[in-house]
Amino acid sequence: MLIAYRHPKPIGAQGLCVGARTDLAVDPRKAKRLAHRIRACQRREALAREVWTSDLRRAADVGRWLRRWGWRHLIDARLRELDFGAWDGRAWDAIAEPEIRAWSRALADVRPGGDGETVGALVDRVVAVCAAAEGRRMSLLVTHGGWLSALKWRMLQAGERVDAANWPSAPAYAEAVRCS
């Protein structure tokens, strides 16, 4: 079983394209609140006291709280958000609409911002993490909205071509996606 949580809402993210190159902080109280929820889930599900997070602060800060409470905190760059390339950190309304349309027409193959990561590559990272989780006790994750959308797509649409029409929305901040 894999239970992957989206990090808490980052500070200063409103209206921005926030991806792998934008390392925003989260309110420490919200990181601690999510850590409490993960700890309760671990007890309820009888899982190992181990959490995997991306290296970006908005996810890793939750793992740091759990480490303070005696947990093992492991960082895995494969859990990072999609790399939006030159768009990362910019206001969405400052990105040319034709560029966004071109990207959304071919999510699997087009690099956002010209030098970002394709959604197909993100899905490949998710598949690699899921394969690693099957062979170990990697069960509790703190990751990002795009990563969790890719996980949901893998569970619901595996085998279909990635496109905007079948791409699931991200869960709310601090919400979990379960994958058996």
Distance (Å, rounded) from C-alpha 121 to C-alpha 82? 9
**What is the number of structural domains in the chain?**
1
What does the pLDDT look like over 82-141, one tens digit per residue? 999 999 999 999 999 999 999 999 999 999 999 999 999 999 999 999 988 887 767 999
Q: What is the CATH number of the domain that holds 94?
A: 3.40.50.1240
What rounded mean pLDDT belongs to the chain?
A: 94
Average pLDDT over residues 163-176: 93
CA distance linking residue 151 with residue 133, whole number of Å: 13
Taking 90 as the threshold, does the pLDDT of residue 19 lie above it?
Answer: yes
Distance CA 97, CA 94 (A): 9
Specify the pTM: 0.95
Q: What percent of the chain has pLDDT over 70?
A: 98
Burial of 61 (0-12, 13-18, 19+ CB in 10 A): buried
Instruction: Give the DSSP letter string of the chain.
Output: -EEEEEPPPBTT-TTB---TT----B-HHHHHHHHHHHHHHHHHHT--SEEEE-SSHHHHHHHHHHHHTT-EEEE-GGGSPP--GGGTTSBGGGS-HHHHHHHHHTTTTPPGGGTS--HHHHHHHHHHHHHHHHTS---EEEE-HHHHHHHHHHHHHTTSPP-GGGPPPPPPTT-EEEE-
pLDDT in tens, 31-52: 999 999 999 999 999 999 999 9
pLDDT at 156: 86
* Sheet of strand 140-143: strand arrangement: 72-75, 50-53, 140-143, 2-6, 176-179
DSSP 122-138: HHHHHHHHHHHHHTS--
Could you tell me the residue range of the domain that residue 123 belongs to? 2-179
